[in-house]
Structure 1
Amino acid sequence: MSEGGTEESSGAVGLPSRRRKAVPMAQWPDAARARYWAFHADRRQSYLGFAYLQLGSDADTEEAVDAAFDAVMDKWDQMRQMENAEAYAWAILKNRVRDQQRKRKRRPEPMDIAAFEAALRDDTEDPYDGLADAITLYSATRRLSERQRDLVTLHYGLGYSTVEAAALLGLEEATVRSHLSQARRRLARLLKAEDCDRADEGKKTS
């Protein structure tokens, strides 16, 4: 199965599909099957929350997450041997969300900027008084790295602790804290620069 390709999920809502695979789950060792369902139960709500902020639709979210778990099921045997299966599963989820965005002809951007506003309010090292308007902030978030956007969404948008976000993405907690700090500082700098540019433009036209 190509990791970048689009695929349809035929499973019931909340469950991976039962389509035929090279090694059907019924033939898996009991321990492997139990570990898969434990992973599914542990990650599903987090994946749904993240995907919804990108897609803004319950139906699209369910389809993307079901497709992600289909792909994880297909790769489960290999994933059991990986040092960082969490990061691999997260990459699968991100690909399935992108597939769904392309399918619905939606831009691959967060649907809600509240998380990024919260990140700025929490920034005590580089405070920014008076947030720019939503369009400006939305534009600024696009200049963050993908990893920074993911972590801001998880931490500030969905309320995950840095420990929980680290577990989801397969990162060290210190790395998560560093990315969040960098994202806050970068957003503040970008918005300040934009504010200065608009002020200069206003002087030219006055």
Structure 2
Amino acid sequence: MPFAPAYAPHRYNRLPPLEFTALCELHHHRYVQYAHLFLADLARAQAAVRSALEYLADHWEEILTTSNAAACAWKAVTHHVRAAHPGSRAVRRLTDHQQDLVLLHYGLGLPLRDIAYLTGIEEPAVHSQIRAIRIEPDQQAHRPDGLSLPGGEDTC
């Protein structure tokens, strides 16, 4: 359990709930990858993810009452990542949700089923939303870290 106890030791008088630990184990790496791509700063990315997981630990009992804990967790992560860099938009012409899908699919190269699992969105919905986002080949922006993202000069 490398991640969950680090985010929740003072929140619980015992080990964190198994579900919280499982969520951290399953998604922490992808959360940090997403945050790093969005913020272009690993230390800030790790801090944003830590903040999101601390929030989740504080509200875990409430989150478990929702229909989709993974979707709630993803929403918390994206909120904390964006808060770490106010005004930053990786692709300015897209909504925040579309931007997340672009970063996950094109930036991190995640297959649609992995995006669905990570974000808590049904795979067919992810597929249709990705297809609805028009990326022009001449709008590819090349980042110094070797990643290519759609959106031209408005990339992070």
Taking structure 1 as the reference length, the TM-score comes to 0.60
1:176 maps onto 2:126 in alignment: yes
**What's the secondary structure of 1:142's corresponding residue?**
coil
1:72 is matched with which residue: 18, 41, 56? 56
Following the alignment from structure 1 to structure 2, what is the Cα–Cα distance between the partners of residues 179 and 25? 42
Equivalent residue pairs, number: 136
Matched residues in 2 for 1:25 and 1:41: separation?
A: 20
- Confirm or deny: 8 A CA contact 1:60 1:100 kept in the other structure: yes
Identity fraction in percent: 29
4+ residue segments displaced more than 4 Å: none
Asked if 1:37 is matched to 2:21, the reply is yes
Structure with the bigger percentage of helix: 1
In structure 2, the CA distance between the partners of 1:181 and 1:76, relative to structure 1 (3 Å rule), is same
Answer yes or no: is 1:147 the counterpart of 2:97: yes
Match of residue 53, structure 1, among 37, 48, 55? 37
Aligned Cα root-mean-square deviation (Å)? 2.4
- What does residue 153 of structure 2 align with? none
Which residue in the other structure is 1:108 paired with? 88
TM-score by length of 2: 0.77
**Structure 1 residues 109-161: Cα deviation after superposition (integer angstroms, max 9, x where no partner):** 22xxxxxxxxxxxxxxxxxxxxxxxxxxxxxx311222221111111111111
| Runs (5+) with no aligned partner, structure 1 | 1-11, 111-140, 192-206
Is the Cα–Cα contact under 8 Å of residues 17 and 66 in structure 1 kept in the other structure? no
- CA radius of gyration, larger in: 1
* Cα offset, 1:27, TM superposition: 7.5
Give 1:99's aligned residue.
83
**Are 2:14 and 1:26 equivalent residues in the alignment?**
yes
Contact 1:50 1:158 in 2 (8 A): yes
Distance 2:59 2:125 in 1: 27
Contact 2:9 2:15 in 1 (8 A): no
